[in-house]
Amino acid sequence: MLSWLEQPHALASFDTTAYVGSMGATECLLVMTGIGKVNAALRAYQGQLQFQPDLVINVGVCGALNPNLTLGSTVLSNAFVYHDVWCGDENLYGQ
């Protein structure tokens, strides 16, 4: 997604990976939030405070068992499953 931005530059004010750039005449903020809803909500709130965006698009990644899906496939869902409570022994519950 970073490659979609024209003239991206890193932001020092975010405590995570974040870039500002443009897509045509539209200024865009790209933030890597980390795993889970809490991280996504926190970063969205930080972006809202600093940039007052007109639109927020939350994009995530997932696994799939469908053999017709290949790496990089775009999938639009009509349902979801809550599944980010446990992310391995090396992380605390909920991280």
Q: pLDDT tens for residues 47-87?
A: 888 888 888 888 777 777 788 888 888 888 787 766 666 66
- Tens digit of each residue's pLDDT (9 = 90 or more) over 22-50: 889 988 888 888 877 888 888 889 888 88
Position 3 scores a pLDDT of: 86
Report in angstroms the alpha-carbon separations of 25 from 1, 5, 9, 19, 49: 17, 11, 16, 16, 22
| Rounded-to-integer distance, Cα 9 and Cα 18, Å | 8
Position 84 scores a pLDDT of: 61
Beta-bridge partners for 6: 22
The model's pTM: 0.57
